[in-house]
Amino acid sequence: MVFDSAEYWRKRYESGGNSGAGSYGVLAEFKSRVLNHFVAVNKIESAVEYGSGDGNQLSLLEISKYLGIDLSAEVIKNLRHKFSDDSTKTFMEYDPDCFVADDVVRADIALSMDVILHLTEDRRYEKYMRNLVKSSKKFIGIFNTATESQLDQMAQHNRYRDHRVWMNLYAPEFSEVKVDLTPVDLGYPATTGFYFYQLQANISHYLLMRHE
């Protein structure tokens, strides 16, 4: 049977599973420390995250306004409950195969954390990246292992992708402005880290045209 990444995540959450090791412990702390610093330095006020997960990583994020989008109805229901006292955070379930980003989901920074690894199908990866880029007013933050080299044994829900290749080809209006790689002692592949992009003012008309 052909592996279906969306089905995998829906079932995983429905059966009580969580977002995985990368959303907890030292890796979650690294991701939040790097992201919170970038948000503060650049005075970023709003974020939209594609693949918000179970909320553990989100509980460490410091930002004025946040929209979390995920394909799992179960996880969105749980997030609304978990953050019911926090009016700065809203959540939306979406169908990753049909959704086309519009102004409602645009924010200062569009985030993708530990999701690209799970986009095993090319068409889902393509769609996901297009929505991510379209949702950014100024910045994009991607936490990923940026390589096309697979391990000898990969779990069926994992596939490494070098998002830098896609960004260079299809989003040249965004330049890579900062990369924070994970510390070596955490044991992740060398290209694992947070990659930040900024919309270049001189070619921002690209983006305006995309929204027409």
Ligand X SMILES: C[S@@+](CC[C@H](N)C(=O)[O-])C[C@H]1O[C@@H](n2cnc3c(N)ncnc32)[C@H](O)[C@@H]1O
Tell me how far, at minimum, the Cβ of 137 lies from ligand X, in Å.
20
Between 9 and 195, whose beta carbon lies closer to ligand X? 9
Tell me how far, at minimum, the Cβ of 202 lies from ligand X, in Å.
31
Between 101 and 171, whose beta carbon lies closer to ligand X? 101
Q: Which residues contact 149 (CB under 8 A, 6 or more apart)?
A: 160
Between 22 and 173, whose beta carbon lies closer to ligand X? 22
Between 96 and 193, whose beta carbon lies closer to ligand X? 96
Tell me how far, at minimum, the Cβ of 20 lies from ligand X, in Å.
4
In terms of DSSP bridges, do strands 192-199 and 136-145 run parallel, antiparallel, or are they unpaired? antiparallel
By beta carbon distance, the residue nearest ligand X is 53
Buried-exposed string 18-34: b where 16+ CB fall within 10 A, e elsewhere:
ebbebbeeebbebbbeb
Residues that bind ligand X (CB under 6 A): 5-6, 9, 19-20, 22-23, 50-53, 57, 70-72, 75, 96, 113-115, 118-119, 124, 128
